[in-house]
Amino acid sequence: MAPSWRSWLANEGSKHLFLFFWLSLNVWFFWKTFLLYYQGPQYYYLHQMLGLGLCVSRASASVLNLNCCLVLLPMCRVLLAFLRGSQKVASKKTRRLLDKSKTFHVTCGVTICVFSVLHVAAHLVNALNFSENFNEDFLALNAANYRGEDPRNLLFATVPGLTGVIMVLVLFLMCTASTYAIRVSNYDIFWYTHNLFFVFYMLLMLHVSGGVLKYQTNLKEHPPGCFNPNKTLRENMTVPKAFEETFPDYTTEPFPEDLSVPEPFVQNNFMSICSEEPTFQSHFPETWFWISGPLCLYCVERLYRYIRSNKPVTITSVISHPSNVLEVRMVKDDFKARPGQYVILHCPRVSALESHPFTLTMCPTDTKATFGVHLKVVGDWTERFRDLLLLHSNQDTEILPIFQQRRYPNFCCLTIPMSAKQEKSCIS
């Protein structure tokens, strides 16, 4: 029993430790942001208006910022291949952890979906509270234009609301198309909808620029909940007689004679006195800091792949094996690979964006530059790929002759070694 536990710890311990750290980071961000908006003096009036919906919406937004930042990093395959092949990453546990990048990508994606539902639900409550709790004393703080305004106006007539609705639709398409059933039945749907993440991130940057939620800036001059004897906040407010001597400049009317002066006002033990109205200001969008770096890194990598894909590669032969197995042999100058590594094939004539990884079954040597892959014809992409290479293919044919230097359809081969520098080339 002990050896099995040690084996599990050696093989899976680093993964679970990393997941525990990631989970703790999410919990810490959520709780920290929740307490900030629940107890922060700068959000006192906003919290009085929106209640817990404010705290939950902002806390879930902080978790979304974190995971929208992390979800792109596992897809930077060039960077991961470089790190794994670098001598600086000598630990086998670290290399094994990098191999779990796809699992971490899926985990971040599921987290984004879950907290998006929580974020949307909290903002629906906020829209309703903005309408019902409209306060004429703090016009700059209100998102609604008047009391009782239809909350749908806040959802569809404002930049944050409209972009939020569109992002929910985009995320719904990406989430549903990522299910196993759709990926197996029609991979094109998964691939094209997944590339809508560019639209999602652009909308996300617009979404946070609306400035709907505001914080108080003059906390020293106007402590939250303080009493202002000036009539600028409430026209019908009367000032107690006890304030006439303390603040003669602000006193306009004596306290009504038929009412006794409240003892707390005289002692001034429970309320702060202020002479300014509260001023509010929108936050500078923080989402830019979270997603701009990973998004730029991913875009640079995609551009790097595209530029490297112009190197010529020649298909030397295509062989059809029994059980719908296709073998493709290729040659490329200065191409180096080792057994166990894989390549990612991309054929624009089959699909403009779709690509698939295949393990190398033949590696180049010092005397032979040919390398090849075997692929199983099991889906629509592999079927169209086979039909392009074998113009007169026959399902019953077991093996075809080798066509030396035949001009095959143009497609790209991205080679991503697991422990060496990444190579990228284009086959024509």
Residue 412 β-bridge partners: 346, 426
User: pTM for this structure?
Assistant: 0.76
Q: Which residues of the chain have pLDDT under 50?
A: 1-2, 231-239, 242-269, 392-407, 409-428
What's 334's domain CATH number?
2.40.30.10
Q: How far apart are CA 278 and CA 217, in angstroms?
A: 8
Residue 233 lies in a domain: no
Q: Tell me, what's the pLDDT at 416?
A: 43
Residue 228 lies in a domain: no
Q: Tell me, what's the pLDDT at 165?
A: 93
Question: pLDDT for 314-357, tens place per residue?
Answer: 778 888 888 888 888 888 777 777 777 778 787 777 877 777 88
Q: Tell me, what's the pLDDT at 201?
A: 94
Q: What is the 3-state secondary structure (H, E, C) of 323-349?
A: CCEEEEEEECCCCCCCCCCEEEEECCC
Q: Which two tokens stand for residue 414?
A: 């991205």
How many structural domains compose the chain? 2
Q: Which two tokens stand for residue 146?
A: 């008047």
Q: Which amino acid is at 209?
A: S
Q: Tell me, what's the pLDDT at 120?
A: 95
Q: Tell me, what's the pLDDT at 123?
A: 93
Residue 126 lies in a domain: yes
Residue 132 lies in a domain: yes
- Clarify whether residues 286 and 373 are in a common domain: no
- Clarify whether residues 332 and 379 are in a common domain: yes
Q: Tell me, what's the pLDDT at 424?
A: 36
Q: How far apart are CA 303 and CA 286, in angstroms?
A: 27
8 Å CB contact between 289 and 206: no
Look at residue 312 and give its three-state secondary structure. strand
The enclosing H or E element of 383 equals: helix 380-389
Q: Tell me, what's the pLDDT at 87?
A: 61
- Clarify whether residues 62 and 184 are in a common domain: yes
Q: Tell me, what's the pLDDT at 271?
A: 60
